[in-house]
């Protein structure tokens, strides 16, 4: 059976193909393998490449996708090969980066939480990931923070403070997952990855769970180049894709 290469289907990772920061389930792998016999498929994650690789169950699994866009596409792979990499360090310069890091650490030093762990700022290729509880928390502690955050708006309040301070410098702040805030230059949201596919595909489908304003799927979901779909879980993703593409 030949593939319909006029279309590409892009998927967010956390909450769309997997549970938050969890490894993909075997039935989802089978589903995607079958889908890839029919259409090109790509991943668009906010996380860095190492985390997406881990969630897909290893490098071989990752390489089966036509495209993998880590950090919103700032690290871009086609058929397992890196085709582009963008650097926030180059874009912002050392002084501004330190200003952002110092402000964030200063802000977090005044925040009391049920628990704090380590790695409050993760420096990636194309973004800084700011995490009030610290990225080295356990899965249980992650869940606990997420509930606390829902009640106390820790991240939304911090995003307001960051926006007040750094919007003038062309930085945006987005709540992508359960425990952290992504910081990157304007335009380096998930729409960034579209430059790698817009010329070759007539239709670009996108499925994501955080498509609401402020969520990290919002911009690509709304973009005129994509047909965007909101899902509520990996199960819902399968259901919607099957309905849309007439798959049994
Ligand atoms: O779902 C994408 C997000 O995944 C992680 O978020 P958290 O650890 O907060 O659940 C991070 O890698 C984040 O950068 C990313 O947007």
Judged by DSSP in three states, 46 sits in coil
Three state DSSP letters for 200-241? CCCEEEEEECCCCCCECCHHHHHCCCEEEEECCCHHHHHHHH
Q: Are residues 81 and 98 in the same domain?
A: no
* 3-state SS assignment for residue 95: helix
Q: How far apart are CA 246 and CA 28, in angstroms?
A: 17
CA of 237 to the centre of ligand 1 (A): 19
Distance (Å, whole) CA 231 – CA 237: 6
- Distance, CA of 39 to CA of 8 (rounded, Å): 6
Domain match, 80 and 97 both: no
The answer to whether residue 18 sits within a structural domain is yes
pLDDT at res. 31:
96
Q: Are 202 and 151 in contact (CB under 8 A)?
A: no
Whole-angstrom distance, CA of residue 232 vs CA of residue 241: 13
In a shared domain, residues 98 and 176: yes
Residue 221, phi then psi, degrees to nearest 5 = -65, -40
Nearest CA to ligand 1 atom 3: 177
Q: What is the pLDDT of residues 57-84, one digit of tens each?
A: 999 999 999 999 999 999 999 999 999 9
Which ligand 1 atom lies nearest to the CA of residue 180? Answer: 9
Which among 164, 185, 206 is the end of a domain? 185
Q: For residue 2, is it within any domain?
A: no
Distance from C-alpha of 145 to C-alpha of 143, rounded to nearest angstrom: 5
Q: How many independent structural domains does the chain possess?
A: 2
Q: Are 81 and 194 within one domain?
A: yes
Residue 218, in any domain of the structure:
yes
- Does residue 47 have its Cβ closer than 6 Å to ligand 1? yes
Residue 77 and residue 22 share a domain: yes
Residues of the chain with pLDDT under 70: 1
238, part of any domain: yes
Last residue in a domain, options 141, 168, 185: 185
- Residue minimizing CA distance to atom 14 of ligand 1: 47
Q: What is the pLDDT of residue 1?
A: 67
Residue found by looking up tokens 């985390």 in the block: 51
Which two tokens mark 65? Answer: 């996708």
Residues 50 and 118 in one domain: no
Residue 176's pLDDT is 77
**Which of 11, 12, 14, 117 gets mutated to test ligand 1 (max ligand atoms within 8 A of its CB)?**
14
> Is residue 119 domain-shared with residue 162, that is, in the same domain?
yes
Are 239 and 207 found together in one domain? Answer: yes
Let me know whether 124 and 73 are in one domain: no
Question: Looking at residue 53, which CATH number applies to its domain?
Answer: 3.40.50.1000
Domain ranges, residue 60: 7-86+189-245
- Residue 204 phi/psi, 5-degree rounding, is -120, 115
Indicate whether 93 and 75 sit together in one domain: no
* The token pair that represents 172 in the structure block: 């945006």
Residue owning the nearest CA to atom 5 of ligand 1: 177
- 21 & 143 share domain: no
Q: What is the pTM of this model?
A: 0.90
Q: Are residues 81 and 96 in the same domain?
A: no
Catalytic annotation, residues? 12, 14
Could you tell me the CATH number of the domain that includes residue 93?
3.30.1240.20
Angle CA 42–48–50, to nearest 5? 90
Per-residue pLDDT, 28: 97
């Amino acid at each position: 059976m030949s593939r319909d290469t006029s279309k590409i289907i892009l998927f967010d990772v956390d909450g769309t193909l997997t549970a938050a920061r969890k490894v993909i389930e075997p039935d989802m792998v089978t589903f995607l393998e079958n889908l890839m016999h029919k259409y090109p498929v790509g991943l668009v994650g906010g996380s860095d490449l190492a985390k997406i690789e881990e969630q897909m169950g290893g490098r071989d699994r990752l390489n089966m996708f036509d495209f993998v866009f880590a950090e919103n596409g700032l690290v871009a792979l086609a058929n397992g090969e890196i085709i582009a990499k963008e650097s926030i360090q180059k874009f912002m310069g050392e002084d501004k980066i330190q200003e952002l890091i110092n402000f964030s650490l200063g802000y977090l030093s005044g925040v009391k939480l049920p628990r704090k762990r380590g790695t409050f700022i993760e420096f990636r290729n194309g973004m800084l990931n700011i995490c009030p509880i610290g990225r080295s928390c356990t899965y249980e502690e992650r869940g606990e923070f997420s509930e606390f955050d829902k009640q106390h708006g820790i991240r939304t309040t911090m995003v307001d403070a960051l926006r007040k301070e750094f919007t003038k410098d062309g930085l945006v702040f987005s709540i992508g997952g359960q425990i952290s805030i992504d910081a990157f230059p304007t335009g380096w949201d998930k729409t960034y990855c579209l430059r790698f596919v817009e010329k070759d595909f007539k239709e670009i489908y996108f499925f994501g769970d955080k498509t609401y304003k402020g969520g990290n799927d919002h911009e690509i979901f709304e973009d005129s180049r994509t047909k965007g779909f909101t899902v509520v879980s990996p199960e819902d993703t399968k259901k919607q894709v099957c309905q849309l593409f007439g798959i049994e």
